[in-house]
Structure 1
Amino acid sequence: MKAITTCPVTTKGGEGLLWGTWIHLILFVIVTCTACFWFIQVISRRLAYIRLGNAVKLEGSWRGRWKKAVIQTFGQTKLLKDRKSGMMHAVMFYGFIILQFGALDLIWRGVFQRGLPLPAYGWFELMQELTVVLILIAVGYAGFRRYAEQLTRLKRGWKPSIVLFFIFFLMLSVLLTLAFDHARHGDAYSMMKPLTSGLSSLTDEWPNVAVEAGFYASWWAHLLILFSFLIYVPQSKHFHLITAPVNLLLGRQGPVGVPARIDFEDESLEAYGVGKVEDFSQKQLLDLYACVECGRCTNVCPASGTGKWLSPMHMIVKLRDHLTEKGAAITSKSPWVPAFAHSFASVHRFKPQAGEHRLNAFQPAPVTSIQATMQAQSQAWIQEEENIQSLDLIGDVMAPEEIWACTTCRNCEDQCPVDNEHVDKIIDLRRHLVLMQGELPSDTQRAMTNIERQGNPWGMNRNDRFQWAQDLAKDDDFPAIHTVKELPEFEYLWFVGSMGSYDNRSRSISKSFARILQRGGVSFAVLGNEEPSSGDTVRRLGNEYLFQEICLQNIELFQSYGVKKIVTCCPHTYNILKNEYPQFGLEAEVYHHTELIWKLIQDERIRMSHPVQETLTYHDSCYLGRYNGVYETPRRILNAVPGLRLTEMERNRSNGMCCGAGGGMMWTEEKRGKRVNIARTEQALETAPTMIGSACPYCLTMLEDGTKQLDRDDTVRVKDIAEIVEMSMFGT
């Protein structure tokens, strides 16, 4: 049995013993204070960069904020959407919480030569060992997913992997320190610490001084790795360990995806939108440092998956790097600690031509693939000798093509484990391009001009808006549809929208919904030729000024007719009226047509008695689903249709893929990669349907175009839910 030593140096003289103890303690204090100082310095400097952004006023209750932050942080709810990586992360997350007590115990052992005075100490030791083993398994699995499975969304290289080495060697130092501590005290094998007491048996033939030296070497290795990790974390993507809970706490409450309102009467505003990184709000800048770089956002992005430049993850990373470099220049405080270990001579900039060949070589054979976008982005984000102040946010950090590729579907935000908001940043960048530079794609410019002049994207005569209903009135079997002027007393204002009024295919939806409303005895009226655009397209394209003009005029119109309830067949109109018009004073209940149809079915005001013998797969509209959480109502209606068999696509509900029409992209021709609507149609066809169902005129148009381009329109029909209900009600 080895002798127990109580100091880091074994000598015959007490004076040497005393000096050894003091040197050990002094070094410990110096290293600890230095590490803590550097850690605080790193945090404070990045906070200074975040404070360069515009102040933001938080709304909602703090109780709700704390509840959300606690549930998502400790419940790992978003991470567990990918069950495998979620479990891996949960093991590391809770393992490190448990091991913080183990770290204190190790430090205590090295300083005071005994373990922490805890009750049931043996069980504490067992829990520490089990936790170390689980973390090592999780580290191995993380490496396997990154380098063996080679998940496309995960970056590879020394920077993304360094944390795995940190964790591995940190766990190894824990085991070695405990093993040498067990050996130097001459303790017998214990089932309460089976691994470390087993390892200690390997030193049975070692001299005491070697065992003692092994303990302190391992102890100092653990301390230095621990503090190095502490300093490294806030200087890397792992800053999310600190910022993510704060980001969740300060996140949006209420409706999602609502762009910030610009006060055009505020004379202090010198620019609109975001033209410099410091034009973002402080919360938006906090998003950048909360990013995990897990790639989940890019993995589900319809633009990334079809070979476009946009990658939500790379967007956040590029903005973060640019903020760090520009923040350092503005504050004259280096972001790197210790500063002597880093070089500041170069800055990052985006050069699309550096990765252009990757996108040009994109092969659209798979339904979707993010590989080309991932590789192109990594090659195009390069470091150069350049003055940070000479770089433009739009052009040198974000390419305009990236900004205009977004469909605003919010699938990226739904998948993000730290609740980053990508879409609002893109809309702010678009606002700067449109309002300050007057730049936007020519086809979207045409649509926006037509909306401004005629109230619809095609530029058709605004006096023909009600023609669809007048045409229906010529049919003796179809009752007339009344305008608000003809029917002053009504329950619902039906906001038909531009698609339902002008588009020949979407007029069929309007006809079907009108028949449902009339059969259900619903009191409704329409605005007729007075109906304007809802303004969704122009707001998503960045023309906030035109949107606010449209919005305020619409609210005034609604109020003049005493509108209390609004129903619409378009999820984009539904979302903007329900969630964004209240920013400007609208007080009315807003319904999507599926919600009203389901209410009529529940109240037995309509009956579906004719079988519809079809196999149908349902496509979730982004603005109905991810923006408003309406997933089950359309499915309840479809399941109530006799004879109809409902099948689900692999990507459905909250992870349903966008049809490609959102964010103003309905009016833009895709010039790169695969068309988004083709990819989504291919996903639908994988279920072998005879019919594809939708609840959005935009989605219906995109999917129907997809079946035509894939030569499947003769065997697969695309129908709106209102059309399917009409088929079952009237047998048509």
Structure 2
Amino acid sequence: MFELTTCPTITAQTMTLGILGVVLSAPAWGFFLRGVAQLLRLIRAGRPADMPRTNQLPRRLGTLVKEVALHTELARRPVVAAAHWLVMVGFLLGSIVWFEAYIQTFNPQGSWPLIGDTHAYHLVDELLGIGTVVGILVLIAIRLLASRRGRGSRFYGSNARAAHFVEAVVLLEGLGMLAVKAGRIATWPLLFGNPHTDFLTIHLARLLPANATLVSLFALIKLLTGMVWLFIVGQQLRWGVAWHRFLAFFNIFFQRNPDGAPALGKLSTPNLEESPVGVGTVRDASWKMLLDSGTCTECGRCQDVCPAWNTGKPLSPKKLIMAERDAATGGSSLTLVGNHISADELWSCTNCGACVEQCPVDIEHIDHVAGLRRYQVLEEADFPQELTSLFKNLENKGNPWGRNASERRTWIDTARARGLTVPLVEDTPMDEVEYLYWVGCAGVYDDAAQETTIAVVELLNTAGVPFAVLGDGETCTGDPARRAGNEFLFQMLAEANVATLNEAFEGVPAGQRKIITTCAHCFNTLRNEYPDFDGHFDVFHHTQLLNRLVRAGRLTPIPRTDANRQPITYHDPCFLGRHNKVFDPPRELLDTIEPLTEAPRNRDNAMCCGAGGARMFMEEKLGTRVADARAAELESTGATTVAVGCPFCHTMLTGGMKANGAQGVAIKDVAVLMRDAVRVDGALPAPLPLQPLEPLVREPKRADTPAPQDSAPAAPPAPSVPSAPSEVVPQATAAPTPPGVSVPAAPGVATPPAPGVATPAAPGNTVPQPAVPAAPGAASPAAPGVAVPPAPAAPSVAIPAAPGAAAPQAPGSVIPQAPGAAAPKPVAPAAPGASTPAAPGAAVPQPASPQAPGISVPAAPGATVPQAPGAAAPKPATPAMPAAPGVATPPAPGAPAPAAPGNTIPQPAAPAAPGASTPAAPGVSVPAAPGAAVPQPAAPQAPGAAAPKPATPAVPAAPGVATPPAPGAPSVSVPAAPGIATPQAPGSVIPQAPGAVAPKPVAPTAPGASTPAAPGVAVPSAPGVSVPAAPGAAVPPAPGAAVPSPAVPESADEE
């Protein structure tokens, strides 16, 4: 009682301190709230996110609670995680104690109503104060000790001043909580001071005098310390170490995956119709990208594991995010790359995902890099020189190395020569196939990877697994193009491959469309990115399937004995392990051979080999090669064999071992090691009978579905008139296949339909098309059987150039030119859905959509003409009457006349007037006779000009033979003659390299000019239908039109 009377609770001094606290805190709150408003406006100004961010809200909320309460993202560093957890809780719950200072400055004995005098509250207050002080002292010590390592410190490049300020404030807040409590115990020991709830402050109270004003002063210091923090942080929007206390909750909640999985695996699929594509300035960034940049706490965990940074390159994921934040908060309108981020930083990224895996606040670094690269490639045409050849090879050849598609069957011949069974999809019904083996580009073109491919086939044969391969029907999945920023090229390749795979899996229901692959990059792309293009498949890595076969007893590896035991370590491919969490199957396989020796960094923490992010095809000119650093780490394990699960890793680590002089360390794929372990006395066991691992379920194919009865009536039988015998002429040299042109399939390979177009089955037997050999030195076409769709948003159509012809760049080309690079020969634009002319005798597939009015597609000599979709099958025709000698069989009325065989006189390229083109149904192949010159684009008839009459009366074709018309079909440009340069189409989107020589213009055909038909060929008179000229026929100019002169072809060796 004496203490209460001698130490009053409220005095003039305490009232003054209380008023001072309120007055000084008002502007602090104002500045802080203004900063919050600025950040909100900044984030809301971003573009919409490419992926959903508000789906599965309950699950997102659960993920937020789990990550915050348990600190799951920081658990890799237990000491740091515990210290940070204490500081975080001290900030969150300590705010209640902090706001209590408003009461205690006026009334030092006061507290919160209801709860302030409870023992539980006093215990929480004690624990929060102690935890905050201990936690922040540990974090301060860690920062100071780590900073001594210079560039090797994860805090290198962070804003040290901001970090020290925040840490000082947190320390003062924790000490303030303890000081107020100790002062109250010293002043009123009868009211406060429970040894159970105040076990530390009761001892600190002995050091303090009994003074109520001192208690209020401690409360004011605690209050104003926080107010200084609010005042300064509200004006420093770049201080992520401070703002992450508020923004981290939102960034975790809005992360890509509701379950909290790292934002790895797939990249977003942007809308290529929107402009710009990618991120050039902060105005192009999405709101999530801006939220990421504001949330970064500059902890440096991403920098600490970045393979580029750790090998002496300028890229730091942390500094990249900080640069974006600085540009955004500074209101910069300059492009990010070149002004805030250097090109070397951007192109050093391997997309390994280590930064994303380590980030405690779920920043999605790879998405940032992808957005910046897309803008540089597609909008600025500014990228490393090595990527020019990569893009060109992918577009023209369908693989990164520019090898011919015919070489995709080389390994099959090698395997069959060893007595292996390698079924092809084109020869094997999918009713008998459980797995489609996607070999990939490296698996056929790289010698070491080819050995892995054959090893997988040997194991599948031994285990009796029904599988098939596409052969030369594969093209690159597009992973290097997408990771390098060429989204146009990736989408073109993806759509083509999805069409090929969907056709191969026709009749196979979802859940049974199984693909296995040996390439981790193909695995990731097929599994995670193709669903955006209607490619829904169950994709397995070969180590997953082989591990299942071992468990099922179909493969029995023989463990190594002590005499031949050799240590093995395993390198986790980034796109198999970190991106897709496939860690155990390869390890379980290797453990059946010999106990595994783990590398210092493995699984989620494994170091990259340096091949990802298209770095496989770029030279490392800065710092140490990533592959060399990883190879040295693997060599340090003492292993004599490094097992890998990706051909890119195999190539990079082989080079790394050679560079380090580690000749005694072998790099082998897991499949090769397993094949060797299965052998008995050097030979594989007898193959098991073919038996699927799971029962096969199949659905009826579209071709087996009966046509509806209300379809177009069948054509009445009529005598068919045979066409004039065609002269046997050697086949013309295949021209390079431009994007968007589908290539005829090899024998037995069905040509896939264009995306979204159903191809009806042709009645009767379809004659397979022979493969067209490529001319020596000429660019080879894409893989046969694969329809390569046009690049998105291409304004016009492509004209395939003849061999040796110099074709200027066409609209929609997906190969931008790098500055200062020699301009590669552009590929002529392809017509949407246009296909390469079919070989003689091949069936001409018709599109599901009807043809343009008045247009029918003539069949090649001896070809079977498919029936219109839904039409009833025609009855057998009566015996045909032979045609009179010299009388040509004309096409159906309104059809363009087919080219006459034998004549190969090239015609000058006569481009039509802008917008004019020969109409044809989408995806319709226009066949040419053997050796015939490629037909010229038909020029529209001049106003008032009469069409020339045919030299010989035409015999009417049999009814029902003509292909049904297709209303509203888009126009298709006809290929130019060999040796003639095709002019650049208007509106080309291909950026030209500075100083590139523009192609010579070719005189356009005068509007209204028409091409006369060859003698003996019926000329349709349907209005608006252009007739292709017969080979060898001269094209007369329209009245008043300038006669175009042939362009001079470039020499073949320049390409």
Give the shorter-chain TM-score range.
0.7 to 0.9
The answer to whether the aligner puts 1:121 opposite 2:118 as a matched pair is yes
- The partner residue of 1:481 within 398, 409, 422 is 422
SS at match of 1:483: coil
The answer to whether the aligner puts 1:565 opposite 2:514 as a matched pair is yes
- The partner residue of 1:131 within 128, 133, 146 is 128
- The partner residue of 1:604 within 553, 567, 570 is 553
Query: Which residue in 2 is equivalent to 1:315?
Result: 320
Letter in 2 for 1:225: T
- For residues 208 and 592 of structure 2, what CA distance do their matches in structure 1 show? 73
Greater share of helix: 1
Q: How many angstroms does 1:705 deviate by?
A: 1.4
CA distance 1:633–1:232, change in 2 (3 Å) = farther
Query: Which residue in 1 is equivalent to 2:178?
Result: 175
The answer to whether the aligner puts 1:54 opposite 2:47 as a matched pair is yes
Letter in 1 for 2:166: V
Whether the 8 Å contact between 2:146 and 2:154 is mirrored in structure 1 is no
Whether the 8 Å contact between 1:257 and 1:423 is mirrored in structure 2 is no
Q: How many angstroms does 1:36 deviate by?
A: 3.3
CA distance 1:189–1:418, change in 2 (3 Å) = closer
Deviation sequence 1:467-521 (CA, Å, 0-9, x none): 111122223xx22312111112222111100100000111110010010111111
- For residues 605 and 55 of structure 2, what CA distance do their matches in structure 1 show? 27
- For residues 443 and 597 of structure 1, what CA distance do their matches in structure 2 show? 36
Q: How many angstroms does 1:662 deviate by?
A: 0.4
- For residues 136 and 55 of structure 2, what CA distance do their matches in structure 1 show? 39
Query: Which residue in 2 is equivalent to 1:665?
Result: 615
- For residues 291 and 45 of structure 2, what CA distance do their matches in structure 1 show? 11
The answer to whether the aligner puts 1:298 opposite 2:303 as a matched pair is yes
- For residues 315 and 200 of structure 1, what CA distance do their matches in structure 2 show? 49
Query: Which deviates more, 608-617 or 528-537?
Result: 608-617
User: What pairs with 1:77-116 in structure 2 (closer than 5 Å)?
Assistant: 77-112=72-107, 113-116=109-112
Query: Which residue in 2 is equivalent to 1:243?
Result: 247
- The partner residue of 1:38 within 18, 31, 43 is 31
The answer to whether the aligner puts 1:445 opposite 2:388 as a matched pair is yes
Q: How many angstroms does 1:697 deviate by?
A: 0.7
- For residues 94 and 337 of structure 2, what CA distance do their matches in structure 1 show? 44
Aligned residues: 647
CA distance 1:193–1:106, change in 2 (3 Å) = farther
The answer to whether the aligner puts 1:275 opposite 2:270 as a matched pair is no
Query: Which deviates more, 252-261 or 559-568?
Result: 252-261
Q: How many angstroms does 1:261 deviate by?
A: 1.3
Letter in 2 for 1:569: T
Q: How many angstroms does 1:669 deviate by?
A: 0.9
SS at match of 2:421: coil
**Runs of 5+ unmatched residues, structure 1:** 11-19, 327-387
Letter in 1 for 2:629: A
Q: How many angstroms does 1:456 deviate by?
A: 1.3
Whether the 8 Å contact between 1:277 and 1:393 is mirrored in structure 2 is yes
Deviation sequence 1:57-91 (CA, Å, 0-9, x none): 43641122112111111110111211121111011
User: What pairs with 1:353-432 in structure 2 (closer than 5 Å)?
Assistant: 388-389=332-333, 391-432=334-375
Instruction: State the structure with bigger RCO (CA 8 A, min sep 6), 1 or 2.
Output: 1
- Between the aligned residues of both structures, percent identity stands at 32
CA distance 1:212–1:613, change in 2 (3 Å) = same
Q: How many angstroms does 1:692 deviate by?
A: 0.5
Query: Which residue in 1 is equivalent to 2:647?
Result: 697
Letter in 2 for 1:64: R
Q: How many angstroms does 1:646 deviate by?
A: 0.5
Query: Which residue in 1 is equivalent to 2:436?
Result: 493
Whether the 8 Å contact between 2:47 and 2:287 is mirrored in structure 1 is yes
CA distance 1:183–1:519, change in 2 (3 Å) = same
- For residues 18 and 166 of structure 2, what CA distance do their matches in structure 1 show? 29
Q: How many angstroms does 1:392 deviate by?
A: 2.7
CA distance 1:452–1:203, change in 2 (3 Å) = closer
- For residues 30 and 248 of structure 1, what CA distance do their matches in structure 2 show? 36
- For residues 464 and 300 of structure 1, what CA distance do their matches in structure 2 show? 40
Letter in 2 for 1:54: R
The answer to whether the aligner puts 1:576 opposite 2:576 as a matched pair is no
Query: Which residue in 2 is equivalent to 1:633?
Result: 585
**Runs of 5+ unmatched residues, structure 2:** 507-512, 683-1055
Letter in 2 for 1:597: L
Q: How many angstroms does 1:637 deviate by?
A: 1.1
- For residues 43 and 119 of structure 1, what CA distance do their matches in structure 2 show? 31
CA distance 1:145–1:426, change in 2 (3 Å) = same
Whether the 8 Å contact between 1:8 and 1:24 is mirrored in structure 2 is no
Q: How many angstroms does 1:730 deviate by?
A: 1.3
- The partner residue of 1:260 within 265, 268, 275 is 268
Whether the 8 Å contact between 1:409 and 1:622 is mirrored in structure 2 is yes
User: What pairs with 1:122-271 in structure 2 (closer than 5 Å)?
Assistant: 122-150=119-147, 152-155=153-156, 157-185=160-188, 187=190, 190-191=194-195, 192-204=197-209, 211-233=211-233, 235=236, 236-237=239-240, 238-253=242-257, 256-264=264-272, 266=273, 269-271=274-276
Letter in 1 for 2:392: T
SS at match of 1:719: strand
The answer to whether the aligner puts 1:455 opposite 2:458 as a matched pair is no
Q: How many angstroms does 1:106 deviate by?
A: 3.8
SS at match of 1:525: strand
Letter in 2 for 1:50: I
Query: Which deviates more, 413-422 or 92-101?
Result: 92-101
SS at match of 1:692: strand
SS at match of 1:395: coil
Q: How many angstroms does 1:607 deviate by?
A: 1.4
- The partner residue of 1:621 within 573, 577, 583 is 573
User: What pairs with 1:642-653 in structure 2 (closer than 5 Å)?
Assistant: 644-653=594-603
Query: Which residue in 2 is equivalent to 1:329?
Result: none
Letter in 1 for 2:585: T
- For residues 481 and 208 of structure 2, what CA distance do their matches in structure 1 show? 74
- The partner residue of 1:538 within 468, 477, 481 is 481
Query: Which residue in 2 is equivalent to 1:69?
Result: 64
- For residues 194 and 256 of structure 1, what CA distance do their matches in structure 2 show? 48
The answer to whether the aligner puts 1:284 opposite 2:289 as a matched pair is yes
Q: How many angstroms does 1:149 deviate by?
A: 4.4
Q: What is the Cα-based RMSD across aligned positions, in Å?
A: 2.1
- For residues 521 and 638 of structure 1, what CA distance do their matches in structure 2 show? 22
SS at match of 1:465: helix
Deviation sequence 1:596-648 (CA, Å, 0-9, x none): 1111112111111363722111010100011111011111111122xx12111
Deviation sequence 1:409-443 (CA, Å, 0-9, x none): 00000000011010111111111111111122112
Q: How many angstroms does 1:394 deviate by?
A: 1.1
Letter in 1 for 2:110: R
SS at match of 1:294: coil
SS at match of 2:155: coil
- For residues 24 and 119 of structure 1, what CA distance do their matches in structure 2 show? 21
Whether the 8 Å contact between 2:479 and 2:521 is mirrored in structure 1 is yes
- For residues 439 and 42 of structure 1, what CA distance do their matches in structure 2 show? 36
Q: How many angstroms does 1:464 deviate by?
A: 1.0
- For residues 707 and 202 of structure 1, what CA distance do their matches in structure 2 show? 66
Q: How many angstroms does 1:530 deviate by?
A: 1.5
TM value normalised by structure 1: 0.85
- For residues 248 and 514 of structure 2, what CA distance do their matches in structure 1 show? 39
- For residues 286 and 600 of structure 1, what CA distance do their matches in structure 2 show? 46
CA distance 1:148–1:394, change in 2 (3 Å) = closer
CA distance 1:197–1:586, change in 2 (3 Å) = same
Q: Of the two, which has the highest radius of gyration?
A: 2
Whether the 8 Å contact between 1:488 and 1:561 is mirrored in structure 2 is no
Query: Which residue in 2 is equivalent to 1:382?
Result: none
